[in-house]
Amino acid sequence: MQKTEWNRGYFRALYGILLVRKANGDSYALLSRLDFDDKPALHGYRREFLNHVRNRLHGDFDRGFFSAWADCMRVFSRIQVPHNVTVPNATNGTAEEHTLETVKTDKSQATMANFIKDAD
């Protein structure tokens, strides 16, 4: 990755998204308030971020930042989050069923549902 202002903004947005997801307690963060089932709202957020990307009043860092958010909204709008994923209970050692949803074309690749469930 080249060290440009656009790339720095893009990376910082992704890093911020990761930090919010790990912390999972900031009620003011957009990611904490997103409803992944509300596809029209996700498309609306994406359009809003793309408007900022196209706005020439923003600097390269800001346009890269908003571009990362627009890409994330595109990904979030395409994923299907199952509501009944079971995970193993590591605290008491009981053997519960662990379902791992995979991408249809690559069985070794986990989906966003696993990422979301593991962060909770």
Let me know whether 16 and 61 are in one domain.
yes
pLDDT of amino acid 114: 59
Let me know whether 48 and 105 are in one domain.
no
Let me know whether 71 and 13 are in one domain.
yes
Let me know whether 39 and 59 are in one domain.
yes
Let me know whether 117 and 93 are in one domain.
yes
Expressed as residue numbers, the domain containing 70 is 1-78
Q: What is the mean pLDDT of each run of 10 residues along the chain (120 residues)?
A: 88 90 74 84 93 92 94 89 55 52 54 57
Cα atoms in the Cβ-side hemisphere of radius 13 Å centred on 79: 22
Asked whether 58 and 86 are in contact (CB, 8 A), the reply is no
List, as one string, the DSSP characters of 59-96: -HHHHHHHHHHHHHHHHHHH----S------TTT----
Closest CA to 89 of 98, 76, 101, 80: 98
Let me know whether 6 and 56 are in one domain.
yes
Give how many domains the chain has, as a whole number. 2
Digit-coded pLDDT (tens) for 46-81? 999 999 999 989 999 999 999 999 999 999 888 876
Let me know whether 48 and 73 are in one domain.
yes
Let me know whether 99 and 70 are in one domain.
no
pLDDT of amino acid 95: 47
pLDDT of amino acid 61: 94
Let me know whether 38 and 91 are in one domain.
no
pLDDT of amino acid 43: 93
